[in-house]
């Protein structure tokens, strides 16, 4: 890296969780507008999730959000 290049990074915290199949969640997730082409939304990288969607996914993956102050 040089010439003033500054990569863009997100500060993330990874929490213990279980792998989960997305298919049962698709009907409930508000950020997936076209339920038949549900993978399309993920093609563009980062996007913001509604808090309800975030909590629904975290619960489904058996993630404890207490350390984040979210539940």
Q: Flag whether 56 is in a domain.
A: yes
User: Rounded to whole angstroms, how far apart are CA atoms 36 and 59?
Assistant: 23
**CB-based contacts of 6: which residues, under 8 Å, 6+ apart?**
none
User: Rounded to whole angstroms, how far apart are CA atoms 37 and 57?
Assistant: 19
Number of structural domains (the chain) is 1
pTM: 0.74
- Bin 3: left if φ > 0, else alpha if -120 < ψ < 50, else beta: left
* Domain extent for 53: 26-68
Q: Flag whether 7 is in a domain.
A: no
Task: Report the candidate in 49, 25, 50 with the shortest Cα–Cα distance to residue 38.
Answer: 25
Render pLDDT for 6-61 as a digit per residue (tens, 0 to 9): 777 777 888 999 999 999 999 999 999 999 999 999 898 788 899 999 999 999 99
Q: What was the pLDDT predicted at 71?
A: 46
């Amino acid at each position: 890296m040089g010439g003033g290049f500054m990569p863009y990074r997100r500060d993330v915290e990874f929490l213990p969780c279980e792998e989960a199949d997305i298919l049962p969640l698709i009907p409930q997730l508000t950020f997936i507008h076209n339920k038949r082409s549900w993978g399309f939304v993920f093609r563009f990288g980062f996007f913001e999730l509604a808090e309800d969607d975030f909590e629904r996914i975290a619960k489904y993956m058996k993630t404890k959000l207490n350390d984040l102050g979210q539940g």
